[in-house]
Amino acid sequence: MTSTTPPMDHGTPSPPPLTDEPGLERLFRSYFTPLVEQARGELDTAVQAAPRVVEGAFRHAWEERERIHSPSELETFLHDSVHHGAARELSRRASVHHFQTATPAKKAADAPPNVDEAWEHLSRSLHINDDLAEKNAVVSEHLRHDAAEHVAAMGKRASFKEPIIITVVGAALALGGLWWVKRAGVEGSVISALASSDARTSVAPSGQMAIVNLDDAIKATISPESKLTVPKQYGPTMRAVRTDGLARFEVQPAQEVPFQVRALGTAITVTGTDFTVRTIAADSTVLLYVREGTVTVRSKNDSTRAVSKGGGIAVTSSGAFREPTAGEVEELTTWSDGKLTISARQLRAVLPELKRWYGVDIKVPDLPLLDRTVTVHAPLESPQAAISEVEKSAGLKFGYEGKTMVFRDAAKKK
């Protein structure tokens, strides 16, 4: 499809175009309207998804920013990303609409998208965390400032001594920081840092997973609608994060400082492993499965348990341990391999999962149907397959009431 997007005004070229979040916001606001028009032109009956497609294009550009060296490359990248994003959206909708018996009427044009709301949504979903070099640069800047004041108080010295002074001051600050951590207690410092207003929370939007590289040794993959909170102090002496939802953590072995994941009242400590953790808000349960290595789990009542490769554990709201069921383990492990598993759960709990993983909002007008038990095994790229699994498992029939997607009892005549 040929794009009719109007040309964008770059101003004076100043590559690279994406260097920080304020710059990303300026470019987002500048390019938003023409890119939305391009998306609308390619989305046909799904024009209401245009802002989301544009958000996805900018998220992708930010992830690939090191490969984009000029405004012209950025414009090409954004146009291509919007084009492919629109194609994916149409494909996803087509797979769902395959079930309908009649084509719904074309949706009326939505109100003009609000760039402020779109940017707010994008900024919340960005999984942007400072890399180790940026953290060290900030620390070094503070050390240089403190060293300069120290040197001024001592009087003029030969310039070659300044690095030595900075090193001494840096060591003193490090020792002071370690003393403070020991005094306050590691536990208290971690809890305080994670609860602080300056901690950064990354959120994966519906239908998308996000990858967060915490540092050179740790990668986190968070599932749709899950959150990862990283404290401002995250670094060599504060390696702790909090997760809400479902996430996989890959930690390289031989780490000197243990890495911690906090989930509800549970603390998970590792030095090198690959594990998945899930929090279930309905009953405040934490589920864990270890793919590689060994982890130490401490519950809110200070009970501890070591879990090794191929093992899992569940921590209840009271802090007690139990063995996870086979279905719980399967749900924990298959998503990161591209498959959705829902094991013997009521339909009322399955509907939010369909919306979370596929972005489909399906209603059930006949409320007693919500009690039916559902089991699903479906690829994450196919909402059609997931809906078919629900139909077969629970004796339901997918269809439409007007423009609303619904499940009905398959045994009842329409």
Domain ranges in the chain are: 21-125, 132-184, 194-331, 338-409
Residue 102: predicted pLDDT: 45
Q: What is the pLDDT of residues 291-321, one digit of tens each?
A: 999 999 999 988 999 999 999 999 999 999 9
Identify the H or E element spanning 180.
helix 162-184
| Class of the CATH domain delimited by 194-331 | mainly beta
**Pairing outcome for strands 396-401 and 339-346:** unpaired
Position 45 scores a pLDDT of 65
Give 43-52 contacts, CB < 8 A, sequence gap 24+: 43/86, 43/89, 43/90, 44/90, 45/106, 45/107, 46/89, 46/90, 46/93, 46/107, 47/107, 47/109, 47/110, 48/107, 48/110, 49/86, 49/89, 50/86, 50/113, 51/113, 51/118, 52/89, 52/205
Q: Identity (one letter) of the amino acid at 273?
A: T
Mean pLDDT of 380-400: 94
- Least confidently predicted of 42-46, 217-221, 273-277: 42-46
293: amino acid identity, one letter: G
pLDDT of 115 reads: 86
* Phi, psi of 209, deg, nearest 5: -100, 155
Mean pLDDT computed over every residue of the chain: 79
Query: How far is it, in rounded angstroms, from Cα 32 to Cα 25?
Result: 10
pTM above 0.95, yes or no: no
- Report the pLDDT value the prediction gives residue 19, as an integer from 0 to 100: 82
The more confident residue out of 144 and 73 is 73
pLDDT digits (tens, 9 = 90+) for 245-271: 999 999 998 778 899 999 998 999 998
Q: Is the pLDDT of residue 8 over 70?
A: no
User: 3-class DSSP state for residue 305?
Assistant: strand
Q: What count of Cα atoms within 13 Å lies in the side-chain half-sphere of residue 9? A: 4
| Residues 19, 12: Cα–Cα separation, whole Å | 16
Question: 338-409: which CATH topology?
Answer: Phage tail protein beta-alpha-beta fold (3.55.50)
Which of 134 and 335 is assigned the larger pLDDT?
335
> What is the C-alpha separation between 39 and 53, in angstroms, rounded?
7
Q: Where are the alpha helices (DSSP H) in 265-325?
A: none
Lowest mean pLDDT among 159-163, 287-291, 302-306: 159-163
Q: In Å, how far are 53, 168, 226, 294, 295 from 274, measured between CA atoms?
A: 32, 38, 18, 9, 9
Give the pLDDT confidence score for residue 149 in this predicted structure. Answer: 46
In angstroms, the CA 305 to CA 156 distance is 58
Looking at residue 92, what is its pLDDT? 66
Q: What is the pLDDT of residue 60?
A: 81
Taking alpha carbons only, the member of 389, 394, 397 closest to residue 373 is: 394
* Nearest-angstrom CA–CA distance, 181 and 267: 18
Query: Is the pLDDT score of 121 beyond 50?
Result: yes
**Average pLDDT score over residue span 379-395:** 94
**Is the CB of residue 28 less than 8 Å from the CB of residue 119?**
yes
